[in-house]
Amino acid sequence: MEINKKIAEALNSVRERNPLVHHITNYVTVNDCANITLALGGSPVMADDINEVCDMVSLASAFVINIGTLNSRTVEAMIEGGKRANDLNIPVILDPVGAGATAYRTEVAKRIIGEVKLAVVRGNLSEVKTLYGIEVQTKGVDSGEIIDGNADEFTIAKEIAKDFANKLDAVVAITGAVDIITDGNTLYTAHNGHKIMAKITGTGCMCTSIIGSYLGSVDNKLLAALAGITSMSIAGEVAYDNLDKTKEGTGTLKSKIIDAIYNLDDKVIIERGKINEE
């Protein structure tokens, strides 16, 4: 319950500070990422040209790098923007979408990790395993191994997350049916969300944007990552609960997720948050 109160305080901080969150994200979900950032209380900007990225990052409170739709032009902007953010102590979050799907995608994600100091890495189990150095098979950017909270795989995933976080000196967040969030020392598992969220493209990208908003508002990067994931997962639950199951589906669900983030408050977080410290 105490950690839920800290997340609620972090939410209030976002809404008081209205952090500018600079994204270089993918064109499939860019509008959703902008809207979810606004709904939480942040202010999104999506500048991806290398000629202005450093100037724009300089104005921001956090920098989100999402490799969902890669091209060589934006890769260089990601790197330069990340380095500029590092120079100014602006936190950077990486969403390594589809790492492991192609050699190029994996190479780019590893290059970013090698050249930019990250505050948070958020991905699914397959993506994090790939960056950690374990070879995995993945079908595409929305495909990933499922974390089963009762399986040996869950224990292994926690060990990978902690070791990887220590190597990067960053928070590693693995999202799935059960979410794992760790800074290499403290580890949280979060148990909110609904399986229907996997039927919508962009829930992971939106979650990363929310984490970026928290990173721009609180000094504790572990709390920021946990708050972002918990907020998104609770919103998914609330959105599903509010669906008219007789005539509404995933299109309406996405709108209701954004509504749920907009209406998120202390009471909802404290009542619904299902978080364990391990």
Annotated binding residues for ATP: 122, 175
- For 144, the token pair is 């990933």
The structure tokens 């976080």 sit at: 165
Q: Known binding site for substrate: residues?
A: 46, 202
- For 88, the token pair is 């100014």
Best CA proximity match to 258, nearest among 192, 202, 180, 177: 202
DSSP states along 217-246:
T-S-HHHHHHHHHHHHHHHHHHHHHTS-TT
Q: Known binding site: residues?
A: 46, 122, 175, 202
Angle formed by the axes of helices 250-262 and 30-40, nearest 10°: 30
Check if the beta carbon of residue 173 is closer than 8 Å to that of residue 180: yes
Starting at the edge strand that comes first in sequence, how are the strands of the sheet with 43-45 ordered?
43-45, 20-24, 62-66, 92-95, 120-123, 171-174, 179-182, 187-190, 275-277
The span from the CA of 92 to the CA of 82, in Å, is: 7
**Is 187 strand, coil or helix?**
strand
Q: DSSP label at 69?
A: S
The span from the CA of 187 to the CA of 222, in Å, is: 9
Check if the beta carbon of residue 46 is closer than 8 Å to that of residue 34: yes
Check if the beta carbon of residue 68 is closer than 8 Å to that of residue 95: yes
